């Protein structure tokens, strides 16, 4: 039986452990924290429960697939429901828009509120679907770094359709040309933030991201986002995976360009295969400092990060739902601040997630648990304490203006997460949320592969490698990685 060690229990690491254990591998997962899930965990404070990290759940079939792979009914272990409202949008000029889960209802809403003809949005959605259908078999489901990928029927079809992808236009340019109306352009520009990128730089191909949300829908686990982690850890354990918490891996041991195992303090653990679910930068710089590094990849621009305020709010706001966006007046200026100046805009876009809207026990009676996230630059040594103090006041003013009520007096409790603390807690390079940014138009081809070309039996999964960050892509990363592992057996 081949031994596998996985470094990190992020969602991709957990999924990889399940897939390999099901195929007869002996799997150990080492986690430096006292909890599972990496960014995808939760905490409680004064009667409020907060999902600490990712708050958007799409493509739940990728989670279900893991249970089905192991011969289990996912509904026996993991329950979720589809949201009727994907997101509520607010603009400073008073415009409000509800993105309904029903596509036709949303199209009607856009026509009524923004005066955009239905066919314009229908055409946009069809274009996004076409991009997704053509590119998913190549960019999302297979390794871009294996020669055999390029000889499949799907790949050949995708390559001959390159002209339809808008690769050499920015996402903003595509939205500007196809949508024309300013509010709608900003709404669809925001999908660049789903992988921590700048809509004015990232490829127009990224318009396919909205297809994942609008076509397939947004969902919420009945026990909160952390239940994705908890249910999959339970599945992994039933498959025989051993999790070792509070244990930091200090070194990946390599001899003659082949994996031998890992070291944790003075202990050595032998293994035939090592999979790093850590960010690619600390994997090389901290765990393999003497091995040759892919310098160009490691020097890639990190994705954006975030400042998150976790607020216990002693009031209910009927105009808010699970997902809410309060847009900035000047989107270009906001992203210029983040990516070019390393600063947070004075007028940032604000995302508010409130799980107590659907899970009553997440907050005390007549109260709400607010996860308030602001896109931020990655950590460059900024004075985050000073920035947070100013940001707190700026966003309280902005939220109060949009809701028509001073929210300050309703904030009962607060916890804050910054790019610096994100880096400390999750080993994410510079606190970036999605590994390298996708601001380069060909960035999909420049992410680190899911395997090492220099070291035999060393593999990688997670948001910093192909195909990218976010829950669905991390789960796909696990599938790609483990498929390669099984082929090398």
Q: Tell me the pLDDT tens digit for each residue of 373-388.
A: 999 999 999 999 999 9
CATH of domain 3-37+223-299+441-487: 3.50.50.60
Structure pTM?
Answer: 0.94
Instruction: Give me the phi and psi of 309, to 5 degrees please.
Output: -105, 125
In this predicted structure, what is the pLDDT of residue 220? 98
Backbone Cα Rg of the chain: 22
> So what's the pLDDT on residue 454?
93
In sequence order, what DSSP letters do the residues of 169-227 get, joined into one string? SBHHHHHHHHH--HHHHHHHHGGGGGGT--TTTSBGGGGGHHHHHHTT--EEETT-THH
- When mean pLDDT is compared across 18-27, 48-57, 149-158, 297-306, the lowest value belongs to 149-158
Alpha-carbon distance of 243 to 262, in angstroms, equals: 15
pLDDT recorded at residue 159: 59
Contact 96, 90 (CB under 8 A): yes
Residue 364, token pair as written in the block: 């005390």
Sheet (strand 3-7) strand order: 242-244, 26-30, 3-7, 273-276, 458-460
Helical (H) or strand (E) element with 275: strand 273-276
For residue 165, pLDDT over 80 is answered with: no
Whether residue 442 has pLDDT greater than 70: no
* Between residues 1 and 65, the one the model is more confident about: 65
Average pLDDT of the residues in 152-173 = 71
Cα–Cα dist 104/89, whole Å: 17
Higher-pLDDT residue of 140 and 337 is: 337
**Per-residue pLDDT at 285:** 95
Cα separation, 408 vs 467, in Å, equals 41
Q: What is the structure's pLDDT at 132?
A: 85
Nearest to 413 by CA among 352, 371, 358: 371
pLDDT of residue 433: 92
pLDDT at 297: 85
């Amino acid at each position: 039986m081949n031994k596998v060690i996985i470094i990190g229990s992020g969602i991709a690491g957990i999924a990889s452990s399940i897939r390999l254990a099901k195929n007869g591998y002996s799997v150990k997962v080492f986690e430096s924290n006292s909890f599972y899930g990496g960014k995808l965990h939760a905490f409680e404070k004064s009667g409020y429960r907060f999902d600490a990290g990712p708050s958007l759940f799409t493509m739940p079939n990728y989670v279900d697939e893991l249970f089905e792979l192991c011969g289990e009914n996912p509904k026996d272990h993991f329950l979720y429901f589809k949201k009727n409202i994907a997101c509520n949008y607010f603009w400073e000029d008073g415009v409000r828009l509800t993105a309904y889960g029903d596509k036709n209802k949303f199209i009607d809403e856009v026509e009524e509120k923004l005066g955009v003809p239905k066919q314009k949005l229908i055409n946009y959605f069809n274009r996004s679907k076409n991009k997704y259908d053509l590119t998913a078999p190549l960019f999302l489901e297979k390794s871009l770094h294996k020669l055999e990928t390029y000889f499949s029927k799907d790949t050949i079809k995708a390559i001959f359709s390159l002209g339809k992808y808008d690769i050499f236009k920015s996402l903003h340019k595509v939205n500007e040309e196809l949508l024309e109306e300013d509010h709608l352009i900003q709404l669809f520009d925001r999908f660049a933030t789903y992988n921590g990128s700048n809509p004015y730089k990232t490829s127009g191909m990224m318009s396919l991201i909205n297809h994942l949300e609008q076509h397939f829908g947004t969902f919420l686990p009945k026990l909160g986002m952390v239940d994705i982690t908890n249910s999959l850890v339970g599945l992994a354990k039933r498959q025989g995976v051993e999790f070792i918490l509070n244990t930091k891996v200090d070194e990946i041991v390599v001899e003659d360009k082949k994996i031998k195992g890992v070291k944790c303090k003075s202990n050595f653990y032998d293994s035939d295969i090592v999979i790093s679910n850590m960010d690619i930068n600390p994997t090389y710089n901290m765990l393999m400092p003497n091995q040759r590094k892919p310098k160009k990849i490691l020097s890639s621009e990190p994705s954006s990060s975030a400042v998150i305020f976790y607020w216990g709010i002693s009031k209910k706001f009927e105009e808010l739902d699970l997902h809410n966006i309060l847009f900035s007046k000047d989107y270009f200026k906001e992203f210029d601040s983040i990516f070019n100046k390393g600063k947070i805009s004075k007028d940032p876009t604000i995302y508010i997630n409130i799980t107590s809207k659907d899970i009553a026990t997440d907050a005390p009676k007549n109260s709400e648990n607010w996860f308030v996230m602001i896109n931020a630059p990655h950590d460059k040594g900024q004075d985050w304490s000073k920035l947070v103090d100013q940001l707190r006041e700026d966003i309280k003013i902005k939220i109060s203006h949009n809701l028509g009520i001073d929210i300050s007096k309703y904030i009962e409790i607060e916890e804050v997460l910054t790019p610096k603390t994100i880096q400390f807690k999750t080993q994410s390079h510079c606190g970036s949320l999605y590994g390298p940014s996708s601001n380069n138009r060909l960035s999909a081809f420049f992410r680190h592969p899911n395997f090492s070309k220099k070291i035999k039996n060393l593999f990688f999964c997670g948001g910093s490698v192909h195909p990218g960050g976010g829950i669905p892509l991390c789960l796909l990363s696990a599938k790609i990685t483990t498929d390669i592992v099984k082929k090398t057996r």
